[in-house]
Amino acid sequence: MKRIVLFVTALFAALSLPAQQQMRTEKNSEIVREVTVEGDFVVVGGGLAGVCAAVSAARHGVPTVLIQDRPVLGGNASSEMRMGICGAKSDQDYEAGILEEMQIRNFRYNPLQRYTLWDDAIYSTVVMEPNIRLLLNTSVNGVVMDGERIAAVKAWNTNNYTRYTVKGKMFADCSGDGILRLSGAKFRHGRENPEEFGEDYLQTGGDAKTMGNSILLQLRKTKEHHPFTAPEWAYHFTDADFDYEKPSSGIPGVKFNYKKLYPKDNNFWWIEFGGEFDTIADALDIQFELKRIAYGVWEYMKNHPDGRCRDYDLDWIGSLPGKRESTRYVGPHILTQGDVMSGGHFEDVIAYGGWTLDDHDPEAFHKKGRISVEHNPPVPFGIPFDCLYSVNVPNLLFAGRDISATHMGLSSTRVMATCALLGQAAGTGAYVALKYDTTPAGVRHDHIAELQDILEDDDCMLPFRWRKVSPLTLSAKTAPENEPLRNGIDRKYDGEDNGVWVPAGDLSMEYSWKKPQTLTGVRLIFDSDFVYRGKRMRKLEATTERVEMPKMMAKSFRIEARYKKEWKTVYECGENIKRLVKVSFDAPVKADAIRLVVTETWGDSSAHVFAFDVL
């Protein structure tokens, strides 16, 4: 609450009215302002990757500027596009970190799962960080170089008629389209020849074709049937347009996907177009074609004589297409099909994926037959830091769908939960680089272990290893049933619970030492229910069904410390909505014992706790 008050106070100070001025005219006032903004870290793009990059750096004390060319944050996940947040296809490998924090916040303040309120759950996560300067409706259109390094970006804000020069020391391109290629950074756009990296899942390549864009539909349940008439300029489909064979692959681990012209799941990803064009330069034409397809598809489905959509009305149709692919930067390592299928065992692993290698045909909707092929990889597979920074622009990082990968490698890493992990890794990498006054390459060479430890401490699981538990925690004495709290595994994994169930009011979650210790804080991981995937928004917009907070998560708790046989409360939380809780005591605490007391959960009689670390 204290941080919110400080933020609001600072906001009103910034918006204080100037002294009364004379009326403005063309003779005494500027029409377009020129404003310079400075930050140590500049993030371009406010999708999930950019948000997680900015927030992660800011929380480690880095003055950060986040530039977003839309009025809302969230990118493909926002109310403007409403794409599903996909990631690792395994509950035990569910993505945590900043993404999970935003999703729980959304549950608390948006129980009806309205997309416009989801936008503001993301927005809240950003504006509550005092180290972030957020520029919405601001498009980057230039780069200022200092030798090989980026010194600043130029940007234009359409709402306040302002040209910005945003100076920084470290930059991250999370725009998806790679606008910071204006720096001269090396990049690729299109499909490699299969022979270049031995990618046998790719049947053809050596061209500029990509996966296409999609416009989605959201439906509403209704009790009455009303026929639908599409606009005159839309397509008008018949059964003949969708009359073709739909064979399965017949190969274990390989799935063929086709258009799904039924309301089941309300998942219209296959309204896709643009892969044979330039998804950046031809964006306006692609948008119009997708509108023609989308209205035509709904008219066909709604009015079909078999009645498949009699119980649905069209509630929303997208205007801004969601992109799957455009441009990819070149980093020291290019992630390939082989890397994904072998599990990604990298020394510099900083994130993971677990979506299929899901390659969409460039013809997309206009192709008769299968329009995507999925190959199941190991889950999870590691992604290295060497995929997140430029080979020739020393202070350029990137995260999201523009990382260093082949077309086929990207087909798995492009999904948004994976992009969020990549963003958090890039933002934390920027912090480490600035801490040591080095480059991302310098972080990779000299500080990669520190970067990995910080990510794990911030609740980002890294594959093939587990988090290091604090020495104070390991040196303490505790009851045998509390031992899972200090194994470094902050989730259920491979059949092991790795947590402790503690009834509200119970005093058994205690650590003690023979001699008093100086304690500065604690780190807690509460169970936020990874199994329930409803956190990732609904495909039906209008519903009265409310979601609930994870019932096994602690709602209120306190930390008590003992010194000279006397217990005192050193921290208390009245309404917790976080899985990861980091507590820094107002002053160091001298104690020979410490305990966590959960006073209330969000519904269960007991709270499920995965970690209780003493710092």
Q: pLDDT digits over 102-127, tens only?
A: 999 999 999 999 999 999 999 999 99
Residue 231: exposure state from Cβ atoms within 10 A (0-12, 13-18, ≥19): exposed
The per-residue pLDDT for 1 is 43
Neighbours of 308 (CB within 10 A): 16
Q: Above 70 in pLDDT, residue 555?
A: yes
Mean pLDDT of 475-490: 98
Q: pLDDT tens across 295-346, in order?
A: 999 999 999 999 999 999 999 999 999 999 999 999 999 999 999 999 999 9
Strand runs labelled E in 158-276: 162-167, 170-173, 187-188, 213-214, 217-221, 254-257, 272-273
| Residue 313 bridge partners (DSSP) | 220
Phi, psi of 320, rounded to the nearest 5 degrees:
-100, 115
- At residue 542, the pLDDT reads 66
Burial class of residue 254 in the structure, from the number of CB atoms within 10 Å of its CB (0-12 exposed, 13-18 middle, 19+ buried): middle
Strand 349-353 and strand 322-323: pairing? unpaired
Check whether 497 has a pLDDT greater than 60. Answer: yes
Place 521 in a pLDDT band, splitting at 50, 70 and 90: very high
User: Which residues contact residue 469 at a Cβ distance below 8 angstroms, ignoring those fewer than 6 apart?
Assistant: 486, 487, 488, 613
The enclosing H or E element of 590 equals strand 580-601
Label residue 543 by pLDDT band (50, 70, 90): confident
- Comparing CA positions, the residue from 296, 300, 297, 274 lying closest to residue 287 is 274
Measured between alpha carbons, how far is 517 from 585 in angstroms, rounded to an integer?
14
Do residues 187 and 327 touch, judged by C-beta distance below 8 A? yes
Give me the pLDDT at residue 11, please.
53
β-strand pairing of 349-353 with 41-44: unpaired
Judged by DSSP in three states, 371 sits in: coil
Tell which residue, 428, 433, 436, 584, has the closest CA to residue 55.
Answer: 428
Alpha carbon 459 to its chain's center? 14
pLDDT at residue 170, as a whole number: 98
- Residue 47 pLDDT > 70: yes
In this prediction the pTM is 0.96
Predicted pLDDT at 465: 97
Q: What is the mean pLDDT of residues 506-516?
A: 97
Confidence of residue 14 (pLDDT cuts 50, 70, 90): low
CA distance 135 to 401: 22
How far apart CA 513 and CA 615 sit, in angstroms, is 14
Token digits for 18? 């100037």
Per-residue pLDDT at 545 exceeds 90: no
pLDDT of residue 265: 78
Instruction: Tell me which residue of 121, 222, 103, 98 sits closest to 547, measured CA to CA.
Output: 103
H or E element, residue 461: none
Is 609 within 8 Å of 485 (Cβ atoms)?
yes
* Residue 70 to residues 47, 175, 599, Cα–Cα distance (Å): 10, 11, 42
**CB contact at 8 A, 340 and 459:** no
- Whether 447 shows a pLDDT value over 80: the answer reads yes
Q: Which domains does the chain have, with CATH numbers?
A: 33-186+334-350+377-457 (3.50.50.60), 213-323 (no CATH), 471-614 (2.60.120.260)
Rounded Cα gap, residues 277 and 363, in angstroms: 10
Specify burial of residue 281 (Cβ count, 10 A radius: 0-12, 13-18, 19+).
Answer: exposed
Structure tokens that stand for 171 in this block: 């930059």
Give pLDDT tens digits for 176-190. Answer: 999 999 999 999 999
Question: What pLDDT is recorded for position 353?
Answer: 98
Asked whether residue 534 carries a pLDDT value surpassing 90, the answer given is no
224-246 mean pLDDT: 96
Where would I find the H helices in 458-503? Answer: 471-475
Query: Which pLDDT band holds residue 6 (cuts at 50, 70, 90)?
Result: very low
Task: Find the mean pLDDT for residues 269-283.
Answer: 97
What lies within 8 Å, CB to CB, of 392 at 6+ separation is 148, 184, 185, 186
17 confidence band (pLDDT: 50, 70, 90): low
Residue 288 has pLDDT above 90, yes or no: yes
Alpha helices in 128-205 (DSSP H): 194-197
- As given in the structure block, the two tokens for residue 551 are 């019932």
538: confidence class by pLDDT, cuts 50, 70, 90: confident
**Mean pLDDT over residues 64-80, rounded?**
97
- Report the percent of the chain where pLDDT is more than 90: 92
